[in-house]
Structure formats: structure tokens, C-alpha cells
Homo-oligomer: A and B are copies of this chain.
Amino acid sequence: MARLVLDYTAMMAPRLGGRGIRPEDLDAATAGFAAVQHDVDARRAAGRLAFFDLPREREVVDRIRAFADGLGQAFDTIVVLGIGGSALGTTALRHALCTSGWNELHEDDRDYFPRLYVLDNIDPATITPLLDRLDLNRTLFNVVSKSGTTAETMAQFLVLRDRMRASLGDGWRGHFLFTTDPEKGVLRALADAEGVPTLPIPPGVGGRFSVLSAVGLLPAALVGIDIDGLLAGAAEMDERCRTPELTRNPAALFAVLQHLADTKADARIHVMMPYSDRLYACADWFRQLWAESLGKRTALDGREVFVGPTPVAAIGATDQHSQVQLYIEGPFDKTITFLAVRDPGPDLAIPAAYPDVDALAYLAGHGLGELLEAERVATAAALADAGRMNMTIELPAIDEHAIGQLLMMLQIATVYAGALYGVDPLDQPGVEHGKRLTYGLMGRPGHARPEIRPSDPARICDGT
């Protein structure tokens, strides 16, 4: 099958007039990479990087298929209740692999696959109108939370359970599916008590590494995405990244280049900029992966380090008219990773008209997709000409096999980057304090009402 290609010419100083990564720094990283790979291999062998095994988990795929081909057929709408890692991967898969505007298509044009909504926030201004317009009697709610303690998801669940009970009585249970820990946790216990069907999130798989578990695969299968193709692409990428030879390992190269850009060239803002509407949600998914995995106060050796690059999602050509001015002329504090597509599918021809109008005539005979690709090439060249680090991940196409490769590559890169930064890419200790404050404000037993320090009246501008 066709392989993803990483072109990093324009990350390197020779292309950038001296700015960017020096070849000798990359050479040093190349020499040191075998130790990183060895470390990752050891953690993997010890079962501490469980996401690596997901492409080969056949049993859950069979269960997903059975559900999708059986009970799943009864629904014309799927609503995922989840937030963060329980939502972003599913959204990425939907936008990449379903027809654009999926939920607005007539059912014929969806081949009778259901609509798919991902409710990843708790704003009543979104949820109330959505519930008002869905036919709840034909809707499946997939509640996704490993522990079952996620406040937002549990609050959504309580709202929906009540709504469905009011209309269906005990039949509400047939409209829910929980994706959660196979043995522990609140949602598991509820599923057992209520008889709600479940799918497992393997114990060692955290939210942001869960897209290739039932978390992402169940909704994907329900809307007709070829999950075997996804997993095959991911498995192939995994194989490709087993090499300790840096320059042949795309995940490692991506991680090493971003780490060198940060530590040797002060570029701590890592933009991911697809030239495809379908891939923007993948950039948003990457935003969580990179930020939450690498943004850490404490290193593995206990030192206080306050590290972590800031990922930014952008999109071409649109953001050429919003962000590229800054990327080209602002501080030298960024890298740009373009996502390109070798075969993006059918183009849309630009017809000829107004042959005497210079600003229109040259467009005729080309296609919109061709223009988009020309703009990508031009923008990458303009950035490099201005001394700005950029690289390009080229997907062979936008299909399951390619998306599987991309998602797996970025997950593996995140583990390598954790090793390079010396932090644990699997934890997120920084959000605990805010959670405790929320529990206190909401009156959760065992959590005292927190003292939120009041604002300084002299630091409020209110028009008085």
C-alpha cells in the first residue's frame, strides 16, 4: 500500500539561509536515537505503552462489527457523549472519512448510514436545540469515559438518560452503549447494574491515545468507515517505526525535528496546517496529543522544567488570509507542518469566462484542487525563503489506510517526544487542581467549598 512521506528539507539550515536546524545537531540526534528507541521498546515490552497493540486487537473489532451489523442498524443518528480524548479522535475520523456535510446529507447520500454528532461540551445553547431536533427514538447515545467520573460526560448522560426514560421507560437502556474500562469504574458498574451494552477501553490506553480502540472505532464503523483499513494503516506505520535508524523512521524524525526546533532554535510553537478541509480535525486531535502529553512541570527525574511546545491548528488556503502574515514576518518561534495529499480525489474545474479580465482569465482550465495545491507549494516555498522552518507530511490519499498511518505516526512521535523532553507523555497532573476546585464549587461531598480569591476592584474595568 502507498506510504506516507515526510519531507523535512525546509527544517534544515541549508535551505533556510542559516536559520533552522543545523545538520550537525540532527546528526547528533541521529546518533543518540538508538537509545531512545531502546527505551521505548523496553516500555512497550513491559506493557506500559498499550496503544501500540491496538492495531492488532482483533476481538474488539469483531464485537464492534457485530454491534454495527446488528443492533446498530436500528439507529439513524449516533450521538457520542465524551470530551477530550473521548471525542477528538472520533471527530477526526468523521471529518476525514465521511462526505463533507455528512449530517446534512439525505440518507440516500449517506448510503443509509446514520448521522454522527460528537457532543464534546456542556453548553445548553448547543445541546438543547440538538435534542429538540433529533428523533430520539432512532438515536443511539455512545457514552465514552474510561473512569465514568468525567463531570461533563456524566452530566450529559444524566440529562439524556432522563430524557429517554421519560419517552421510553425501561427501553432507554437499548439506546445507550458505554465505552469504558473493561473491569473498573463508575460507568462499568452502572452498565452491569442496568444491563447496558459496553465496549472496552483497554486498561493501559489513555484518552488521547484511544482513537484506534473502541472509542474511535465504534462510531467509525457505524458510519461506514472501514476500520480494518484504518488498523492496517496503523499497523504498517508501527512496523515502519520499529527501526532505530532515525532517518528511516518518520515518527522519530517528526519528534526529533520538533524537539530540536524548540531546544536549539527557540521555536516552541508547532503549527499543523493541512491543505484539506477533511484533515483539519486531525490537526485539532493532534493539538491535544502534543499539548497534554508534553506540557509538563516536572521531568521524569524530578526536576522542575516547565516544558512543552504549543501546538496550533491552521488550515490552508484559508489561513493564508489570517495567520501566514505572522508566520512569515513575525518572530522566529514556530515550525509549520503541512499536511499534503498526493491524490486528493476528483477536482472541480474552473470554467473560462471574461478572457479579458486579467485577474480571472488565468484561472480557467485549472481546478479548485489544483489551485489549492499550488498555494500549498507557494506558501511552503515563501516560508522557507523567509527562513521559516517547515516540513510536509504527504498522505498518499485521504482514505482509511492513510489516516491510520497518520494517526499512528503522530501517536508514536508523541512517545518519542516525551522521551526527548524527559517527561511522562501519558499523565496530566496539571488539571487536577482545577477539577478539585470545580467539585468544591459544585458541592461534591468530600470537597470543601474552595476559597476562590476575589478580584481586585481596582483591576476591573466595567464602565463605571
- A362 and B445 contacting across the interface, CB-CB below 8 Å: yes
Whether the Cβ atoms of B308 and A461 lie closer than 8 Å is no
- Check B334 against A372 for contact (C-beta < 8 Å): no
Let me know if A170 is at the binding interface, CB within 8 A: no
Query: Does A183 count as interface, using CB distance less than 8 angstroms?
Result: no
A154 CB within 8 Å of chain B: yes
Q: Mark A312-356, 1 if CB is under 8 A from B, else 0.
A: 100101101111111111111110000000001111111111100
Q: Is A300 an interface residue (CB 8 A)?
A: no
Shortest A174–chain B CB gap in Å is: 17
CB-nearest residue of chain B to A207: B321
In the complex, per-residue mask of A125-154: 1 if CB is within 8 Å of any chain B CB, else 0: 111111011000000000000011111101
Of A101, A325, A450, the most chain B CB neighbours within 10 A belong to: A325
Distance to closest chain B CB from A272 (angstroms) = 13
Asked if A181 is at the interface (CB within 8 A of a chain B CB), the reply is no
> Contact residue range for chain A?
35 or more
Stretch of A33-41, A157-165, A215-223 with 4 or more beta carbons under 8 angstroms from chain B: A157-165
Q: Which residues of B contact A70 (CB under 8 A)?
A: none
Contact partners of A433 in chain B: CB under 8 A: 328, 382, 385-386
A371: Cβ under 8 A from any B Cβ: yes
One of B11, B124, B249 near A346 (C-beta < 8 A): B124
**Interface 1/0 per residue, A286-303 and B, CB below 8 Å:** 011001101111100000
Cβ contact within 8 Å between A295 and B105: no
Q: A151: which B residues are within 8 A, CB to CB?
A: 363, 371, 375
Contact, CB under 8 Å: A450 / B381: yes
Contact residues in B for A326 (Cβ distance below 8 Å): 291-292, 294-295, 308, 310, 430
Neighbouring B residues of A122 by C-beta, 8 Å: 317, 368-369, 371-372
In the bound complex, CA of A22 to CA of B104 (Å): 52
Q: Does B437 contact A381, Cβ atoms closer than 8 Å?
A: yes
Q: Quick check: is A12 within 8 A (CB to CB) of the other chain?
A: yes
